[in-house]
Each structure stands twice: as C-alpha cells, then as structure tokens.
Amino acid sequence: MDAESNHKVAYILPLSYGLALLKQLLPVPTHIFKKDNHYFEKFDSEEQDDWNVLKTDYAFRCELLETIRKRKVCIISNEKPILYGGVECNEELTLIIGPINIADIDVTYCKLYALKHNATNLVPFGCKVQKLASMLLLIYSTITGKHLYLTDFLKENMLDIDIIENTNRRIASIFSEYSLEMKTHNPSMFEESIKNSIKSGDLEGLKKALNSIYANMRGTLSHNSLRSAKNLAIVDITIATRAAIDAGLPVEELYTVSDAFIMEVEDCRYESDALALSHACALRCTQMVNKFLHDESSDKHNISLIVNRACQYIEHHINEKFNTEQMCERLKVSSSYLSKLFKNEKKMSIGAYVRRRKIDFAKLLLRTTDKSIAEISIILAFNSQSHLGKVFLEETGTTPSKYRNNVATHDLIL
C-alpha cells in the first residue's frame, strides 16, 4: 500500500463513531451482526434484553439479515406498523435498526407482538418512516458512495403491490365525472416544479422535484396526523391529474385515475402509504403524458378545440352506444364538417377512434378485474360478446381471452 493510500485509510471514520453521531439525532435501537448472524461483540451488551426480539427470536433475526444482505439497503415492513431497516455495511457486518413503530399502537398490540417473538416488555421506538429511510440512505451512501432518491426508496419499500393492484381495479370500475377543488399548503415552487415535470412528461425531473427540500415543508390539514396525510395526498393527486389534463390528456381518463387513487388513499392505515400513493399517482401521470407526447408528437399541436371536445365527449360516453349525430348536436357542429376535420387531425375516422378507445378500456378491464368477457361487452355497449371479440382481434391481433392470459402485469397504462 503506498503512502497516499495509507493517508486515506487513516481518515476513514469507524462505524461506531458514525452511529454514535446519528443516534444523537435519532436515538433508534441499532444492532450490528457478523456474517455468522451473531452480534458483533463491540455492539453487544451481553444482557438478556427481554424486549429485544432480535435476541429472543433467532430465526426472525436470520430472516431479516438474509433480506438485508440480498437487498443491500431496505426497510422491512411485513409486520406494519412495526418496521425494521437494514444496511449491509460490508461483507463482514450488517446493520439492523428497529423495531420502529410508525403508528399509534396500544399496549395489547405490543404484548401480542412480543409474544410472537418470545419477548416481553416491548415498547417499539416511535419514528416517521421518512426519518428511518433518511438514516438508512445516509449510512448506505457513506459506505458505498451510491446515492438513492428518498422517494424511490420509500416507494420500493413501502408501497405494497396490493395497493397498486387495487388502484387499477378501481380505475377500471370508475367512469363517472368527479371534480375536487382543494387549496394546497405546498410552497409554490415545489408545486410548480411537479406540475411542470408532469406536463412535459419528464420522469427524471419529477423525481428531483419530489426529492427537493420543499417536499418536507407541508401544511397540516387536520389535527389527526393520518387524516392530514390523506388530505395532503388528495391535494397532490388532484394537482398531478390536472397537470396531465393541461398537457392534453383526455379529461375523463384522468378523472378516473384521480378517483381510483383517492379512494385507495382513503383506505390507507398509515401515513407512509398515503404519501407513497400520491407519488405513485404523480409518476403514473408523468408516464401517461410522456407516452402521449411521443405517440402524438407529429400532430398534437394541431388538434382543434372542436376535435378535442369531441374526444372528451367520446371518453364521457365510452360505456354507451355511440351516436355521431347526437354528439354533433351536442357540440353544435355539422356531422360532415366534424367527420372531415376529425379524420384530418386524428388520422382516423370518428368510428375508428371510438372503437380504439373502447378496446383500450376493454384491455384495462381484462387486466385488472375478474369480470367475464360477456360482462365487459355489456359495460362497453358492444352488441354481443362475439362483437367485442371481433373488434378486439382487429385492433390488437389477439382475442380477449388470450390477452387476459398473456398480458404482462407491469402494463399499467392504457
């Protein structure tokens, strides 16, 4: 080792020093384990610690360590509202922080949780999940030199796949118009940066906006912390979906997305889930705008007001038998003029556009619900199940049943 390397090594701070400083900021319970899953002696008091489930339940300890070593840095939330965080420090040592409590729990719950892990006198340390995540990422980045976005980390660790699946099911079941007006307490710069990122379909810009210093400067919309988190999430969802509408996406489609996410927020039991859902909605809206801008890049600026209104009318009446004359009467324009203008701007006839949008919604229902093909044909006002099958095959090249069996679970956007 050369002199320069010796000089660098001399200034590497020991793990014990870094943890001691961090615990002054957030006095959470920390545990350091060796690769054989036993405590690193320097961090072990050698007392029984009957509250410490990592001592009373060795199998549970091994399970947590296996997960952390596999993922390098993570929050383990299988037993919410009690969490554990972990960082693989190096090949020899692994850090576990916890148990952490992210919600108000009573004495009975603590006793039952302790009993499950052969412990007693358990009183989990109360802490917001954002603080736990920040501590983990600070340690991880110091050790590895890698930087992770806080919002990405929280989404990956806290947003259960069941929540996303439930949101998609609700999107599929909602076709009614809904408008929500609420005033946000966000700093205007924070809100504007999110809206601008969504309207331009800028995914990287959205991540930076959600991770800005303004993200923590939120108002309080209720004396109850969970209710306040839900209200703030609803505000954020409304802002995100309206930004997507401003970018030119169909109003009804975005109202549906808004409804679904808001309804999922209302079902949340923890503040972290509400926050994660609001971020997921912003991401979804940005992805939709990005797709729209790429798909429509050749003519999106040339869509006239009357054609845009026609598209909105179609979205609003997607589950009805479509009547062009009735639409033209409502829009106060002649059928021949609108048909010519629509084909010139959208590069397809009104009828073809209606069929495509109906099939888009059919695909969504096939992906996210267990409704039969016959039921879907009724919902979308096809003449029969066979009529739906025929149009579906023409539009997609496959049948509804094959699509349902083969569709990728990550296909989240219409």
Q: How far is CA 122 from the centre of its chain?
A: 32
Domain presence at residue 348? yes
Q: 3-state DSSP call for residue 174?
A: coil
**One domain for residues 176 and 53:** no
Question: Residues 93, 94, 95, 101: what is their CA dihedral angle, to the nearest 10 degrees?
Answer: -160
Q: Give the tens place of pLDDT for each residue, 348-380.
A: 999 999 999 899 888 878 877 778 888 888 888
Q: 3-state DSSP call for residue 73?
A: strand
CATH number for the domain spanning 357: value is: 1.10.10.60
Out of 266, 295, 324, pick the residue that ends a domain. Answer: 295
Give the pLDDT band of residue 391 (cuts 50, 70, 90).
very high
Domain that holds residue 243: 158-295
Q: Give the tens place of pLDDT for each residue, 285-299.
A: 888 888 887 765 445
What is the identity of the amino acid at 400?
A: P
| Residue among 185, 194, 200 nearest 292 (CA) | 200
| Residue among 27, 42, 156, 152 nearest 89 (CA) | 42
pLDDT of residue 183 exceeding 80, the answer is no
**One domain for residues 129 and 209:** no
**One domain for residues 398 and 308:** yes
CB atoms within 10 A of CB 280: 21
The span from the CA of 98 to the CA of 113, in Å, is 14
Pair 23, 30: CB distance under 8 Å:
yes
Give the pLDDT band of residue 60 (cuts 50, 70, 90).
very high
Domain presence at residue 139? yes
**One domain for residues 271 and 346:** no
Q: Give the tens place of pLDDT for each residue, 322-339.
A: 888 989 988 888 989 989
